[in-house]
Structure 1
Amino acid sequence: MNNLSELRIELVKGQKLAMQGSYQRRAPLKKAIPHLLVARKGLKDYVTQYPTNALAWQLLSEAEQYLLNYNEALTTLQNVLSLGDKDKKLLKRLAMLTEYGSRWQELEMTSEQLESLEIYLQEKLELYGCNHTLIYTREWLDINVLSSKKSKVVRALQNQGGFCDCEVLMNVVD
């Protein structure tokens, strides 16, 4: 697949199947990943062959973003801007990617861990409700995160508006 329009179609398929908003941190649904990976590989090959094609760089940035590779998404979007495209939407996307990339790094959790935490909290809150503490989040952390990192993760969750279990679910992992 080396035609840019074919790669774009593959990327759009993956984006639709991913079931994630433009800048969400949740992992794409598994059925989307093959499409996103094919699009990313094809776009990487394409920009190697046509390094001045701003649209190809922009599409590659989107593929990286949907795969939660925020550093790569930022780098490729900066390539678009360096080629002279200073569209306000691109500048806004650059700012959003920078913000979400730093949040993602602050959490020090994989997308799989966030998905697991989401499922755990949904189940616990459905059964017991929220008592406005981080009791279930801390239970999950006890099982899934090294003890030396727990307090840092709790601070990162709180920095993103997760002061109790239902807020972690709504503001951080959902």
Structure 2
Amino acid sequence: MNNLNDLQNQLIQGQRLSMQGSYQRRAPAKKAVSYLLSARKGLNEYVKQNTDNILAWRLLSLAEEYLLNYNAAIYSLQKVIELGEKDRKDLKRLVMLKEYGGQWQELNMSPEQLESLGTYLEEKIDTYGCDHSLTHTKEWLDGNIPKSKKSKVTKAMQNQGGFCDCEVLMNVID
């Protein structure tokens, strides 16, 4: 159990450094990634040895979520529920994970691309303000996304409340 406590502490440290809120995850801060990857690796090894440990599965689900691996986070949380813990919070979190996973899949952009777009939009909005259009978002997409995917990505952003540059920044990226 001591090993699990060490892994939990490592995950907590990674989460603190990640600069992620509790809802609508974004790419973790670079300084957190090594902690999160290490905790995930250790937790994966732990659950192979201790397949019925609910806490380990729950922690693994969190590690996967912090790393934006929603399918793996869902799988791990479903294991928690299978093992007999039918906590309302877990069921609610499972629904949330499925929703967010679908949003990330719909966007079809990597966390690094979203971070780059966010930085670009912050600079443009600070300089020019928001004209209530997707002008700067489309400029960034032109240089970073294949033309064949651009309209699909734009539609996905609008589905998440991004109808102008500042809304993309607030509703899609943050």
Q: TM-score range by the shorter chain?
A: over 0.9
Matched, 1:144 2:144: yes
Contact persistence 1:58–1:80 (CA under 8 A): yes
2:47 — aligned with what?
47
- CA displacement at 1:26 relative to structure 2: 1.3
Q: Where does residue 58 of structure 1 map in the other structure?
A: 58
Q: Tell me the TM-score normalized by structure 1.
A: 0.98
Quick one: percent identity of the two aligned structures?
65
Map 1:117-136 → 2, pairs under 5 A: 117-136=117-136
Residues 9-158 of structure 1 mapped to structure 2, 5 A cutoff:
9-158=9-158
- Unmatched runs of 5 consecutive residues or more in structure 2: none
Distance in 2, matches of 1:5 and 1:161, equals: 40
Offset of residue 17 of structure 1: 0.4
TM-score, normalised relative to structure 2 = 0.98
Amino acid aligned to 1:71: N
Q: One-letter code of the match for 1:163?
A: F
1: CA distance, partners of 2:11 / 2:24: 17
Distance in 2 (alpha carbons) for counterparts of 1:167 and 1:8: 35
Deviations 1:56-87 (A, max 9, x none): 00000000000010010000100000001011
Provide the residue aligned with 2:173 in structure 1.
Answer: 173
Cα distance in 2 for residues equivalent to 1:138 and 1:45: 43
Q: CA deviation at 1:90?
A: 0.6
AA matched with 1:88: R
Describe the superposition over 1:110-148 as per-residue Cα deviations: whole angstroms up to 9, x where unpaired.
000000000000000000001110000000000000000
Structure 1 match to 2:159: 159
- Once superposed, what is the RMSD of the aligned Cα atoms? 1.1
5+ residue gaps, structure 1: none
Q: How far is the alpha carbon of 1:12 from its aligned partner?
A: 0.2
Q: Which amino acid aligns with 1:95?
A: V
Q: CA deviation at 1:169?
A: 0.5
Q: Distance in 2 between matches of 1:90 and 1:121?
A: 35
Report the alpha carbon displacement of residue 21 of structure 1 after superposing the two structures with TM.
Answer: 1.0
